[in-house]
């Protein structure tokens, strides 16, 4: 199946610093990528939809100036958590849309990034 690589898998940073997370589709071109946040024992919460070459679409309640998304190529999207605070500590997961069948698309997920802000 298609592979989505997410890096880093784990990061610890100091409060007030910025952290960049990369999401790459390794064997297919992804015009659309998604960024999710997941709290313990909770489902995936969609943060934003990233489209190659255009501005990301953020879900209600997600601060676009805090969570900067760049989708500069068909295989790479980045999420930068700016001025991170302890409450930003969470599991961040990206996914990329690929063809599942003639009409449907499947979301292939990265391995996730565990962010801890101290």
Partner 1 sequence: QKEVEQDPGPLSVPEGAIVSLNCTYSNSAFQYFMWYRQYSRKGPELLMYTYSSGNKEDGRFTAQVDKSSKYISLFIRDSQPSDSATYLCAMSRGSYIPTFGRGTSLIVHP
Binding site for partner 1 (CB under 8 A): 1, 4, 6, 34, 41-44, 46, 49, 91, 93, 95, 97, 100-101, 103-112, 114
Beta carbon nearer to partner 1, 43 or 54: 43
Please give the Cα distance from 81 to 64 (Å, whole number).
10
Q: Of the two residues 52 and 106, which places its CB atom closer to partner 1 in the complex? A: 106
Residue pair 46/36 in contact by the 8 Å Cβ criterion: yes
Nearer to partner 1, 39 or 83 (CB): 39
Residue with tokens 């390794």: 26
First to last CA, the chain: 37
């Amino acid at each position: 199946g298609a592979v989505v690589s997410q890096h880093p898998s784990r990061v610890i940073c100091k409060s007030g610093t910025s952290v960049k997370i990369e999401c790459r589709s390794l064997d297919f071109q992804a015009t659309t990528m998604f960024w999710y946040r997941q709290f313990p024992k909770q489902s995936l919460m969609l943060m934003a939809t990233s489209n190659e070459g255009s501005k990301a679409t953020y879900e209600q309640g997600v601060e676009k100036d805090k969570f900067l998304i760049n989708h500069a190529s068909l295989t790479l999207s980045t999420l930068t958590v700016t001025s991170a605070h302890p409450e930003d500590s969470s599991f961040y997961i990206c996914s990329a849309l690929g063809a599942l069948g003639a009409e449907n698309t499947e979301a292939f997920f990265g391995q996730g990034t565990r962010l801890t802000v101290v």
